[in-house]
Structure 1
């Protein structure tokens, strides 16, 4: 299921200013009206030019106003309850379907916004790095640990630790021969940004994984891998974003594994043999 245009605007809203913020606010306060508007009608309603409207829709990830307009017709979940799309009278069957649908939406939406050239470049940087650090605070530390766990199956020399102080110490030990994968859904976590500053001071290449491409993390990273999820409720924020980011990590791991070819195969073989010994 594709991501609703309204949901995408909500995701970007805190990062918008000027005419972009004006357009976003108009759309979010006139949801029924804008679904049938032409680009000229929206320009008239906001007292802006059609060119400004066109730049806005491209800035939030659409190729054309028509594509954006069609996205506005995608039905939105009910967010009047604690779990947003879950209704009080939903039975187990419907709750299961909605939870899985949310996960599927996170993946399909991320696939739409993920830049293939960026992820290919990220894989190349990781493959040629002296060492790779995986950084994340809170829920993002789970994604960072997952990345570390996966890349243990490659020749990559990687590290990860959930403690902020240790992350800072690791950051200042890195050099311009290293790569840091920094994960933050919002891109605004103060501790994460502090770690990023230490990485920058030491010339480390920074790959950011975030859902907010206009966040401070994204603006200061050397490369951005964008995730997307319908952030309309607590469950979505804690789960859908996590699923999208885990899948980006899995894609990176697969690309690096393929790039390193026989070296990866040799590491995998030795790891499997070691693990098999624990199962006898």
Structure 2
């Protein structure tokens, strides 16, 4: 199922700036008009070049303006739609198909958002840190714990705790030799922001995993690995964003594991041996 261009723009809107934001705002404000516009017509309407339009559609995940234009035939969902593109008359197969499609789109959009340089920087910081801390509140704690569980298989000294007070204590004990992976879908959770301020006060390198690159968390972070999702309202968008954030953690683990090579393999073998001894 092709993802609606309207939905993609709404999902990424907070991450756009300059000409991209100008184009996005025009499209969202004129949903009926833009459906019949050529690339030149849209460029004239927004007062930008056709090359700018072409770069915009590729940055939001479409291979060409034609593909983007065809996606605009999907009706834009009202802001009060609880589950994004799922309609009241959808049958079981349609609902499940759209859920899976949302996950696929979240993964592909997130992949396109993160440049290679960011992966390289994050990997280098983690490999060279004294301690790696994972932080997340509520649903984001699931992603943080997943990362911790993965990194136990590497030589990296990792720590994570689900309790907020313990996380704050954990942040107090970290130093400028450490790295913190802080997860928050909205980037606005007050407890997460308090923890992040403590980390920054200790000069800890903060890598934020969030869907909102203009959020308070993103602005405090030293590096942002943005996740995105298909859904267009915050009540449901974290469903697909969770998959994207888990993929980010898996990617970081794999990058670090591969770079540390034999050290990682030994730990993985030791852990596998210990776990095998607990089974019949």
Under TM normalisation by the shorter chain, which class is it?
A: 0.7 to 0.9
Q: How does 1:41-120 map to 2 (within 5 A)?
A: 41-42=41-42, 45=45, 50=49, 54=52, 61=59, 67=64, 70-74=67-71, 76=74, 79=77, 81-120=81-120
Q: CA deviation at 1:206?
A: 0.8
The more displaced of 120-129 and 172-181 is: 120-129
- 2:58 and 2:168 mapped to 1: Cα distance? 33
- 1:186 and 1:235 mapped to 2: Cα distance? 11
Residue 194 of structure 1: aligned partner: 194
Contact 1:2 1:105 in 2 (8 A): no
- 1:77 and 1:149 mapped to 2: Cα distance? 41
Query: Which stretches in structure 2 are left out of the alignment for 5+ residues?
Result: none
Q: CA deviation at 1:85?
A: 2.4
Residue 166 of structure 1: aligned partner: 166
Contact 1:109 1:228 in 2 (8 A): yes
Contact 1:84 1:233 in 2 (8 A): yes
Residue 265 of structure 2: aligned partner: 265
Alignment length (residue pairs): 277
- 1:79 and 1:92 mapped to 2: Cα distance? 20
Q: CA deviation at 1:26?
A: 2.8
Contact 2:82 2:236 in 1 (8 A): no
Q: CA deviation at 1:59?
A: 11
Contact 1:130 1:177 in 2 (8 A): yes
Residue 25 of structure 2: aligned partner: 25
Q: Is the aligned partner of 1:237 residue 2:234?
A: no
- The alpha-carbon distance between structure 1 residues 49 and 79, as it changes in their structure 2 partners (threshold 3 A), is closer
The more displaced of 165-174 and 244-253 is: 165-174
Q: CA deviation at 1:225?
A: 0.9
SS at the partner of 1:73? Answer: helix
Contact 1:212 1:218 in 2 (8 A): yes
- 1:244 and 1:87 mapped to 2: Cα distance? 24
* TM-score between both structures, scaled by the size of structure 2: 0.85
SS at the partner of 1:207? Answer: strand
Residue 185 of structure 2: aligned partner: 185
Deviations 1:58-86 (A, max 9, x none): 5994599x956753532547645532322
Contact 1:12 1:60 in 2 (8 A): no
- 1:45 and 1:254 mapped to 2: Cα distance? 45
Q: CA deviation at 1:161?
A: 1.4
Deviations 1:156-196 (A, max 9, x none): 11111122222111111101110000111122222211111
Q: Let me know the Cα RMSD of the aligned residues.
A: 3.1
Query: Which stretches in structure 1 are left out of the alignment for 5+ residues?
Result: none
SS at the partner of 1:82? Answer: coil
Contact 2:15 2:214 in 1 (8 A): yes
* TM-score between both structures, scaled by the size of structure 1: 0.85
